Amino acid sequence: MARLVMFLGIALVSACGNGVVTLAGDDAGLSPPPTLDSFGPGSPSRPPGGGAGTAPETVVLSGQVFYGLGLSALGGATVSLDPAAAPAATTDDGGNFSFADVPTGSYVVTATFPGLATGSQAVVVADAPPPIVIGLEASTQLFANDGGDDVPWLGFAPDGGPLYASSGTALWQLAGGGATPVWADGTAVEPLGFGASGEIVYLSDCDGGAPRSCRLGFGAEAAADGGRVELFPDGGPFVIGDQVVYAAEPLAANGTQAWSAATSSSFTALGPFFAAPPPVAAAGAVAFLSLQGGQAVTYSAAGVTQVADFAQALPYGYGGSSLVPLGPDSIAALSGKNGQGAILDASGAASVTFDQGTRLAPGAPGTAIVSYVSAGQQWIYRVAAGGTTEAAWVMLPTTAWPPLPSPDGRRAAFVGTPYVADFATGSYATLAEAAALAQFDASGSALLVVDGSGNLHAVTFESGGVADRTLEGVDVTAAAFTPDGQSVVYAGGDALANAGVFVEPAVPPPPVTQATP
């Protein structure tokens, strides 16, 4: 049976292969980091000009330790010699180590690091040797599942919480070297995200009806249970703080329901609302268009806020309109009639800040992204709370929608395409492969991409360009940055592993800049 496995780290194989390596030649100092092609069988080459005279009685033996996607240098690793001709050394931030006054002879050089397998290399020191390179690989197994299912979802709880993984019919919490089943009765489970306290929120045991009837879960299996909920299409559920908001029948008196983890009970959050535009969640709130006077309203953990009279602000009707909450008391609204948009606030005021819009989607917190499609081309720009707009337009050679915004708001990726917009420069970057799955790190400076072939790409941005570090041949089904943003956890089929730290880009290509329409 296949198994679900989580590792603490993964790396590349040793640079020097198997067997005994004879090190000889002039002392040339540390070499630059190796390329991927250098990780293969065979011996390190002898530097030019190596002397053939009598070997000294002692030499300086030095090298580097690497691991991870992109051959990242590993600082803090312990390197020792056997026989112990010198005290153990610790690698610096560049992964470098050095032993002075090592007598000529045969040794095993061993590198260790917590959570990684021990890496060893046998060497014969004949005279002043060139640097050696050791690559460490993963070893520690935290969890094994004999169910054999793929892992289509994984995610870290906020604030450095534990890792959760789902096979689609089971949900586990992985922490402390083991796994705790959250839902594992064999029926389908759908993770929704995390509440304000870091508890996992999920649906399970859904039927195939319309509306769907599902069991709502919050936290561990023995913790609060929302019971069964009736879910209508495009009506959520949305996780807002420690509440779960979902649409009951839109035109009914109890149009919007909420379930509270604090009270373990359901209640009516909002009265009847228009089914179109559907409710949208962003910035800790959900925006609705109420049937009670055509009011644009939000629902947040603080309750309901009447933001503005939508019909008065945008008098051309509701058909095809869009709403995006910018916070509990502010909404970006776009009329589907003439492309006119406005920022609506709790005072009832409406300042029209954009008049070229076709579609509207959530951006970074407090912002929305506006799409203007014309003649098969798409121009996008941002609007923000306070009635401001961004000056930079970005033209994209795709009409894909919706965008995936970076947390800092600077960039937006478009899943299904290789394009990433940069609002700061008014340009876009082109990735090596179209993204089937994508996720930004917390800083917005790196993008995790899974392409259509299941290869994992760790993409970094600099000066508008991209540097792509690729892990091929693992058939990735889900991936996520670790909370520190330095590592990538991925599921390759039913195996869960950590791809290690990826390196910063070298010299990126120049950006592709487009003019304003």
Residue 152 placed within a domain: no
Residue 166 has pLDDT above 80, yes or no: yes
pLDDT digits (tens, 9 = 90+) for 67-114: 754 456 788 889 999 998 889 999 998 889 999 989 988 899 999 887
Residue 32 DSSP symbol: P
pLDDT the model gives residue 90: 94
Mean pLDDT of 284-306: 84
Percent of the chain with pLDDT over 70: 73
Q: Can you tell me the distance from the alpha carbon of 470 to that of 466, in angstroms, rounded to the nearest whole number? A: 13
Among 28-42, 187-201, 233-247, 385-399, whose mean pLDDT is lowest?
28-42
Q: Can you tell me the distance from the alpha carbon of 371 to that of 368, in angstroms, rounded to the nearest whole number? A: 10
Residue 9 placed within a domain: no
- Residue 397 CA: distances (Å) to CA of 226, 255, 339, 512: 44, 40, 21, 12
Are 494 and 4 within 8 A, CB to CB?
yes
Residue 405 placed within a domain: no
In terms of Cα–Cα distance, which of 61, 126, 125 is closest to 98? 61
Are 55 and 25 within 8 A, CB to CB?
no
Give the number of residues written for the chain: 517
Are 321 and 314 within 8 A, CB to CB?
yes
Mean pLDDT of 345-365: 80
- Any alpha helices (H) in 137-240, and if so which ranges? none
Q: Can you tell me the distance from the alpha carbon of 406 to that of 460, in angstroms, rounded to the nearest whole number? A: 13
What is the residue-averaged pLDDT of the chain?
75
φ, ψ of residue 354 in degrees (nearest 5): -155, 145
Q: What's the burial of 197, exposed, middle or buried (CB within 10 Å: 0-12/13-18/19+)? A: middle
Residue 258 placed within a domain: no
Q: Which of 131-145, 209-223, 448-462 has the highest mean pLDDT?
A: 448-462
Q: How many CB atoms within 10 Å of residue 456?
A: 24
Phi/psi zone of residue 42: left (φ > 0), alpha (ψ -120 to 50 degrees), beta?
A: left
Structural tokens at position 506? 């070298």
Residue 31 has pLDDT above 60, yes or no: no
Using 50, 70 and 90 to split pLDDT, how confident is the model at 126? Answer: confident
pLDDT the model gives residue 16: 30
Residue 511 has pLDDT above 70, yes or no: no
Among 23-27, 276-280, 429-433, whose mean pLDDT is lowest?
23-27
Residue 27 placed within a domain: yes
Residue 109 placed within a domain: yes
In terms of Cα–Cα distance, which of 253, 244, 178 is closest to 214? 244
Residue 13 has pLDDT above 50, yes or no: no
Are 465 and 424 within 8 A, CB to CB?
no
Nearest-10 Cα torsion for 369, 372, 377, 380: -30
Structural tokens at position 129? 């040797």
pLDDT the model gives residue 464: 54
In terms of Cα–Cα distance, which of 398, 408, 463, 409 is closest to 435? 398
Residue 278 placed within a domain: no
Residue 127 has pLDDT above 80, yes or no: no
Among 158-167, 192-201, 270-279, whose mean pLDDT is lowest?
270-279
Strand, coil or helix: what is 310? helix
Residue of 32 and 104 predicted with greater confidence: 104
- Residue 30 CA: distances (Å) to CA of 34, 53, 98: 11, 23, 10
Residue 79 placed within a domain: yes
Q: How many Å separate Cα 120 from the centre of its chain?
A: 33
pLDDT digits (tens, 9 = 90+) for 252-292: 777 788 888 777 788 888 778 887 788 899 999 998 888 77
pLDDT the model gives residue 137: 60
Prediction pTM value? 0.71
pLDDT the model gives residue 11: 27
The boundaries of the domain holding residue 68 are 20-135
Q: What is the CATH number of the domain that holds 45?
A: 2.60.40.10
**Total domains in the fold of the chain:** 1
In terms of Cα–Cα distance, which of 316, 308, 312, 363 is closest to 336? 316
